[in-house]
Structure 1
Amino acid sequence: MTTTLAAQWHQLTASLLPDEKQRAATFEQLVAAYSASGRHYHTLRHVQLLLDAVQAAALHDSTVVQLAVWFHDAVYDPLRDDNETRSAELASEFLIKTTLSESRQQRVAFLIERTKDHTQTLPDEDTDLQLFLDADLGILGAPEIDYWQYARQVRQEYRLVPESLYQKGRSKVLEKLLTTPVLYRTAAYRTRLDAAARHNLQAELQAWQQGGL
């Protein structure tokens, strides 16, 4: 997987930053982040799945969205609430070295920061943001066996949080997702995954209400 991702990274960034050593150094930084021992779901596999999703979509600015994918979970500390901001800052530290315009750099940071809360109201015309966030939530509508693996992997990432506190926090997240009128913003994701996602979310919420996974 790393070899494939390396090829995708350099294909994406070569025209933005001719210095291969600098590109390679950032790639290794990202690999180390997504491969850290505490990662179980927010890993390189998650990055690859999102890249596959956005590369297959019709986007206004595919480069910006792909860059957001690469950096959106680069900083992931379950005990902090500023991971999205810090991930956006990490992206900006790299992008300032590139030829990407300032407005597009800011756009990458904006996309990353919007992953903090997938239930926020989105501009109807911002279809790139809608697709990006839908892809990030794609796991919610996965087959049950894959969803339960995801749910357990997230719990592993929060292993330092006591069970009772995690149960309360996770239930709140699940309830918020279940009560949002529109879970997926694009018609394609909504048609394909909404029903399955709500079923999975409700099943996990019920499991926590009954004592845990």
Structure 2
Amino acid sequence: MPDTLAARWHRLTTPLVPDAARREAEFQRLTAAYQAPTRHYHNLQHIENLLNRVEAANLQDPEVVQLAVWFHDVVYNALKSDNEARSAAEALAFLKDSALEPARQQRVAFLIERTADHTQPQPPDDADLLYFLDADLSILGAPEAEYWAYARHVREEYRLVPDLLYCPGRRKVLAKMLAAPVLFRTPQLRAELDAAARRNLAAEIDAWDQGGLAAS
């Protein structure tokens, strides 16, 4: 039987926070945030998908990367630009009195903050960071039907924004990613996902140029 998210959370955090009640309260707070009615893509399924990838990867500090996965989208307001900074702050608040060394606590925050713009330059030798960022973008290289479900879910998260404003904004984001010389920075995920991701991005740009996303 696959591990539940609760089991995975407690296995990760028990060595860091011996207080079971505090761990459980934080888990309930995280799951409530990711299950908010405004969440359509940035939800618990997204967290589970990322955990599946990073838990299977050969990372230098898997504990830190897994913590970053859990917290990286805990604050998500589609109309705000400080989600990553606030999510990093929430991770630090939970870890403040934990057994995780202060430098590694800051490392968790750093990983989260780097998800603000996947096209920004990244430290080329930071293998854990690059894998974490690639995993976060892995939906772009998903099979076609899964990608279009993702695109519609993101649109739902911006449902308060009319198409007149959403279309050029979304198109700009997609075009910036498509134009990036390197979309996935790890050889493994580049080989697995890059070609499909570029097809998906180009197809969504074309859909917006043609008037919008088709209904599911």
Structure 1 and Structure 2 fold alike (TM over 0.5): yes
Structure 1, residues 91-147: CA drift from partner, whole Å, max 9, x if none? 011000211111000000000000000011112210000000000000000000000
CA distance in 2: counterparts of 1:209 and 1:94, whole angstroms: 44
- Aligned residue number for residue 20 of structure 2: 20
CA RMSD of aligned residues (A): 1.3
Which consecutive residues of structure 2, in runs of 5 or more, have no partner in the other structure?
A: none
Which consecutive residues of structure 1, in runs of 5 or more, have no partner in the other structure?
A: none
The number of equivalent residue pairs is 213
- Aligned residue number for residue 185 of structure 1: 185
Moved runs in structure 1, 4+ residues, more than 2 A?
Answer: none
CA distance in 2: counterparts of 1:167 and 1:113, whole angstroms: 26
Structure 1, residues 52-106: CA drift from partner, whole Å, max 9, x if none? 0000000000000000000000000001000000000010110002111110000
SS in 2 for 1:137: helix
CA distance in 2: counterparts of 1:31 and 1:100, whole angstroms: 22
CA distance in 1: counterparts of 2:210 and 2:147, whole angstroms: 18
Superposition TM-score, scaled by structure 2 size: 0.97
After TM superposition, the structure 1 = structure 2 runs for residues 186-205 of structure 1, keeping only pairs within 5 Å, are 186-205=186-205
Superposition TM-score, scaled by structure 1 size: 0.98
Q: Percent identity?
A: 62
SS in 1 for 2:4: helix
CA distance in 1: counterparts of 2:90 and 2:197, whole angstroms: 31
CA distance in 1: counterparts of 2:60 and 2:189, whole angstroms: 18
After TM superposition, the structure 1 = structure 2 runs for residues 63-78 of structure 1, keeping only pairs within 5 Å, are 63-78=63-78
After TM superposition, the structure 1 = structure 2 runs for residues 37-186 of structure 1, keeping only pairs within 5 Å, are 37-186=37-186
CA distance in 2: counterparts of 1:14 and 1:113, whole angstroms: 25
* One-letter amino acid of the structure 2 residue matched with residue 13 of structure 1: T
CA distance in 2: counterparts of 1:152 and 1:12, whole angstroms: 32
After TM superposition, the structure 1 = structure 2 runs for residues 25-40 of structure 1, keeping only pairs within 5 Å, are 25-40=25-40
Structure 1, residues 143-198: CA drift from partner, whole Å, max 9, x if none? 00000000000000000111111001100000100010000000011111100000
SS in 2 for 1:12: helix
SS in 2 for 1:17: coil
